[in-house]
Amino acid sequence: MVVQALKDQGVDTVFGYPGGAVLPIYDEIFLQNDIRHILVRHEQGAVHAAEGYARSTGKPGVVLVTSGPGATNAVTGLTDALLDSIPLVVLTGQVPTFLIGSDAFQEADTVGITRPCTKHNWLVKDPDALSGTIHEAFHVATAGRPGPVLIDIPKDVQFASGTYQPPKPSTSHYQPRVKGDLEEITELVAAMEKAEKPVFYTGGGVINSGTAASQLLRELVDATGFPITSTLMGLGAYPASGQNWLGMLGMHGLYEANMAMHDCDLLIAVGARFDDRITGRIDAFSPNSIKAHIDIDPSSINKVVKADIPIVGDVGHVLEDILKVWKSRGRKTQAEAVKSWQAQIGDWRKINCLAYSNNDKSIKPQYALQRLEELTKDRDRYVTTEVGQHQMWAAQFLNFEEPNRWMTSGGLGTMGYGFPASIGVQMAHPDALVINVAGEASWLMNMQEMGTAVQFRLPVKQFILNNERLGMVRQWQELLHGERYSHSWSEALPDFVKLAEAFGAKGIVCSDPADLNDAIMEMINYDGPVIFDCLVEKHENCFPMIPSGKAHNEMLLGEAETQGVIDTQGAALV
Amino acid sequence: MSALHIKKGSTRHSAYNLRPTFSDVQEKHTLAVLVENEPGVLARVIGLFSGRGYNIESLTVAEVDHTGHLSRITIVTTGTPQVIEQIKAQLGRIVPVHEVHDLTVEGPSVERELAILKVVSDGDKRVEALRLADIFRANVVDSTLGSFVFEITGAPDKIDAFADLMRPLGLAEIARTGVAALLRGE
């Protein structure tokens, strides 16, 4: 029944790891050929792989793990998916119903443990309710703001026979609102017609809404001529080559993007949630602007920042309505004022905030990413990242022209996300070039997935920026803790080339900037998984940076004066 | 401010009240939440309050519609207006929640609570306790020569007042149900 339900929901790939409590389901999987099962090496890897699959395709990722430790190993991935709004359906085995609550072998209160980290979860005790629950789970995972759901299935329910119910249009009361309120939309359009310094601030919500939303966003931005910036999660919704593109904003965002957010008079938030990495000091955030907030989740609105024009709805539908109303009112903007606003932004751009001092003796991580961008930009490319300085540099130096090409752990910031996610992406796009930009410490967290990559012949490219440090932590220790580098270096690192070969894959090491181009080309052209150990400058800091507790116009742009910059209040914020 | 002269609050709002006042005053609100009567829903609601640091002054829950599988959770909570709006939005986000009503805001409401109090005393204090119970229209549900157990229903502050009066008269234990509330009229 489980397998039939998955097939009827259009599932073609399941990431999982077997165990005693899920043997009946694995038996069914063995006896069919429509659904592919990818055997990972750790359940956390299965969930991150499903996340990579989901973000790169727009379809929900499906995971199958066993009870007890299988389910608890999935918790990190579930929490990651919840914070980044990724649709996932996770099936966990459970001990038989008559053993629940008796501390049986591999028993855990899965539903209790995952209650705060899933959008919703179910424990199925009645075999006749099983198929209906699975269909409902897919509905909940994908409707409204997407998120992870979990279905706990006891073993005796898996063995039992019951009546299968095919999927039907959901009669559940959970039907989130997708169409925005027309009066609020009209008010926003009126504001757009009068704005002299407008800014679009977009986020992951545009990606979740689907490719049509990205298309509509592009049309609206280019028609109005308003500048647009994006959060880490929203990169690719508007192309980096677009003429109104400001660059990413936030704690490590570009100078011109943060200054534009600070000085604007109309801030249109589209599918973004005003996360603390973006806002910096809230009482000094964009102080003189009218804020419009378009979001499908009403609890996001007015949570952090007061919304003057709140619009609850799916960004795709709302953007469509905004375009209609704006066009029907004569496509008005304050064209002259917006032009001089763009000129002001041009002046800020001249500061060239991403400049770094390059040299020909060591590889600067920024240079490595610039070379990677140059050599891969014309390919069918998908990028995942781990978490840390390399993640920020990847967001700054790689350009994204399409949505669903950029997979990163934004909300939870899970180290160890990127490698399994790249596996999930490669499964969904077998012919594409999938690159995981990693730090050596993050990469080692889920290194066991090399087995998965080699077994399933997934030619994922692991681009490791190896500085033998926990870079982001080290940067904060330098800034805030008087250069007391407490446990922020990587000792006893493996020889990555030998490690790759031990798994049957290819390893490349590069430490000379002159060799970089050839080494990257070798990585791209190798038909199989590659670990690329790029030995980079060890003490490079990631700029620009808005130190915690500071406002957008108090950015640090370089090494100059970084001591004593964070006060005690700011120190308490991460 | 800027060239934009938007008259704030000028448009009719949707059912979601998204433009609260942002003040610092702590307010007490009574929320009525209609939920699916399925296992774990109460745990989810309480997990929301504890996970996000919201305050629960009192909580009561029971099934109200057997065929429709609905239960009603009545929660009294305190917070600033912004926090109260967040609580309502977060409750509304939970999948098995059907409706969230803020009875403090939506109109005049009726709030009732039931309490049972054990008063242990003799002599004058015992007589006075019985007399006060009569005034408050509390019932005696247990009596021995040295104690009474009173049952009282009423608005929460009536129960607070009764308990305060019983305290110097020998109040030994009190058990309260928490507030149940409904909107007046249709």
Question: Is it the case that residue B8 has pLDDT exceeding 70?
Answer: no
Please give the residue of chain A at the shortest CA–CA distance from B14.
A181
- Structure ipTM: 0.86
Q: Tell me the pTM.
A: 0.92
Which of A431, A404, A243, A268 lies closest to A339 in space, CA to CA? A243
Suggest the residue from A118, A122, A152, A181 to mutate for an interface test with chain B (most B CBs closer than 10 A): A181
How far apart are alpha carbons A51 and A66 in whole angstroms?
19
CB contact under 8 A, A299 and B89: yes
Confirm whether A43 is a catalytic residue.
yes
Q: Annotated catalytic residue: which of A106, A165, A342, A477? A: A106
Is B1 in CB contact (< 8 Å) with chain A? yes
A454: closest CA of chain B, how far (Å): 40
- Residues A28-86 have pLDDT tens digits of 999 999 999 999 999 999 999 999 999 999 999 999 999 999 999 999 999 999 999 99
CB spacing of A196 vs B22 below 8 angstroms: no
Residue B15 touches partner A, C-beta closer than 8 Å: no
Give, in order, the Cα–Cα distances in Å from A20 to each of A279, A280, A423, A505, B57. Answer: 47, 48, 25, 31, 44
Q: Which residues contact B10 (CB under 8 A, 6 or more apart)?
A: A187
pLDDT at A559 over 70: no
CA distance readout (Å), A69 to A16, A17, A21, A194, A463: 13, 11, 11, 58, 31
A186 chain-B contacts, CB cut-off 8 A: 11
Question: Which of B21, B95, B102 best tests the A interface by mutation, with the highest count of A CBs <10 A?
Answer: B95
Tell me whether residues B18 and A301 touch, CB distance under 8 A. Answer: yes
Q: Is A75 helix (H, G, I), strand (E, B) or coil?
A: helix
Task: For the beta carbon of residue B145, count every other beta carbon within 10 angstroms.
Answer: 6
Is A116:B51 a contact under the CB 8 Å cutoff? Answer: yes
Determine whether the interchain pair A174/B1 forms a contact, defined as Cβ–Cβ distance below 8 Å. Answer: no
pLDDT in tens, B42-67: 999 999 999 999 999 999 999 999 99
Strands A228-230, A245-248: pairing is: parallel
**Preferred mutation among A199, A302, A309 to probe B, highest tally of B CBs within 10 A:** A302
> Is B146 in the A-facing interface, judged by CB distances under 8 Å?
no
The predicted-structure confidence for A456-512, as pLDDT tens digits, reads as follows 999 999 999 999 999 999 999 998 888 999 999 999 999 999 999 999 999 999 999
CA–CA gap between residue A407 and residue A511 (Å, rounded): 27
Going by pLDDT thresholds of 50, 70 and 90, the confidence category of residue B37 is: very high
Confidence (pLDDT) at A280: 86
* Residues of A engaging B, defined by a Cβ cutoff of 8 Å: 111-112, 115-116, 119-121, 123, 140, 145, 173-174, 181, 183-184, 186-187, 190-191, 194-197, 265-266, 288-290, 297-299, 301-303, 306-310, 312, 334
Q: Is the pLDDT of residue A562 over 70?
A: no
- Partners of residue A184 in chain B, C-beta under 8 Å: 11, 13-14
**DSSP label at residue A363:** B
Among all residues of chain B, which has the CA nearest to that of A297?
B93
Q: Is the pLDDT of residue B175 over 90?
A: yes
pLDDT the model gives residue B10 = 33
Q: Is the pLDDT of residue A204 over 80?
A: yes
DSSP 3-state helix, strand, coil percentages of chain A (rounded to 5)?
Answer: 40, 15, 40
Looking at residues A141-169, what average pLDDT do you find?
95
Contact B4 A183 (CB under 8 A): no
Per-residue pLDDT, averaged over A395-418, amounts to 97
What length is written for chain B?
186
Rounded CA separation A474/A486 (Å): 8
Distance CA(B43)–CA(A111), nearest Å, equals 11
Place of tokens 């069918």: A380
pLDDT at B14 over 50: no
Out of A98, A105, A483, A538, the active site residue is A105
Residue B22: the pLDDT is: 66
How far is the C-alpha of A426 from the C-alpha of A410, rounded, in Å?
Answer: 20
Can you give the pLDDT at residue B3? 35
Given a contact cutoff of 8 angstroms between Cβ atoms, the answer to whether B116 and B149 are in contact is yes
Closest to A409 measured CA to CA, from A394, A397, A428, A427: A394
> Contact B31/B100 with Cβ under 8 angstroms?
yes
- For residue A358, the tally of other CB atoms under 10 A from its CB is 13
- The answer, yes or no, to whether residue B16 has pLDDT greater than 70, is no
Residue (of A112, A167, A158) closest to A134 by Cα position: A167
Of the residues A119, A155, A197, A364, only one is catalytic, namely: A155
Tell me what pLDDT residue A552 has: 80
pLDDT in tens, A327-344: 999 999 999 999 999 999
Q: What's the pLDDT score for residue A336? A: 96
Beta strand segments in B23-128, E: 27-36, 58-65, 70-79, 97-102, 109-120
Alpha-carbon distances of B111 from B76, B129, B139, B182, B183, rounded to whole Å: 11, 25, 19, 7, 9
**Is a pLDDT exceeding 90 seen at residue A130?**
yes
Whether pLDDT at B174 is above 50: yes
Closest Cα in chain A, distance from residue B13 (Å): 8
* A155 tagged catalytic: yes
Residues of A in contact with B96 (CB under 8 A): 120
Cβ pair A299:B22 closer than 8 A: no
A309 near A191, Cβ under 8 Å?
Answer: yes
CB contact under 8 A, A111 and B40: yes
Determine the Cα–Cα distance for residues A497 and A484; give it in Å rounded to an integer: 32
Measure the CA angle with vertex A418, ends A256 and A481; round to 5°. 60
CB B149 within 8 A of CB B114: no
Higher pLDDT, B19 or A373: A373
Residue B20 pLDDT > 60, yes or no?
A: no
The DSSP secondary-structure symbol of A487 reads S
pLDDT in tens, B92-150: 999 999 999 999 999 899 999 999 999 999 999 999 999 999 999 999 999 999 999 99
DSSP A159-228: HS-----------SS-----SPPHHHHHHHHHHHHH-SSEEEEE-HHHHHH-HHHHHHHHHHHHHHT--E
Q: Mapped to the 3 state alphabet, what secondary structure does A417-475 carry?
A: CHHHHHHHHHHHCCCCEEEEEEEHHHHHHCHHHHHHHHHCCCCCEEEEEECCECHHHHH
Maximum Cα–Cα distance for chain A, whole Å? 73
* CA-CA-CA-CA torsion sign (B113, B116, B117, B122): positive
A-B CB pairs within 8 A amount to 87
Per-residue buried b or exposed e for A16-35, using 16+ beta carbons within 10 Å of the residue's own CB: bbbbebbebbbeebeeeeeb
Task: Supply φ then ψ for residue B121, to 5 degrees.
Answer: -165, 170
Hey, is A152 helix, strand or coil? strand
Find the CB nearest B4 among A290, A297, A299.
Answer: A290
Q: How far apart are CA B158 and CA A198, in angstroms?
A: 55
- pLDDT(A555) > 90: no
**Residue A105 annotated to the active site:** yes
Q: Would you report the helix, strand and coil content of chain B in percent, each value rounded to 5?
A: 30, 35, 35
- Identity at A105, one-letter amino acid code: F
Residue B153's Cβ-count burial label (10 Å; 0-12, 13-18, 19+) is middle
| CA A239 – CA A245 distance, rounded (Å) | 7
Tokens of A493: 């690192």
- Give A174 to chain B, closest Cα distance, Å: 6
* Two tokens, residue A467: 């500085």
Instruction: Identify the active-site residue in A1, A15, A43, A462.
Output: A43
How many angstroms separate the Cα of A530 from the Cα of each of A62, A453, A517, A537, B69? 26, 10, 16, 22, 55
Rounded to whole angstroms, the Cα distance separating A8 from A196 reads 51
Q: What are B158's two structure tokens?
A: 């009536």
SS3 A325: helix
Q: Which chain A residues are Cβ-neighbours of B39 within 8 angstroms?
A: 123
Answer whether residue A96 shows pLDDT above 70: yes
The per-residue pLDDT for B1 is: 31
Q: Which of B145, B141, B178 has its CA nearest to residue B159?
A: B178
Radius of gyration of chain A from its Cα atoms, rounded to whole angstroms: 24
Report the distance separating Cα A27 and Cα A3, nearest Å: 10
pLDDT at A89 exceeding the cut of 90: yes
Dist. CA A261–CA A252, nearest whole Å: 14
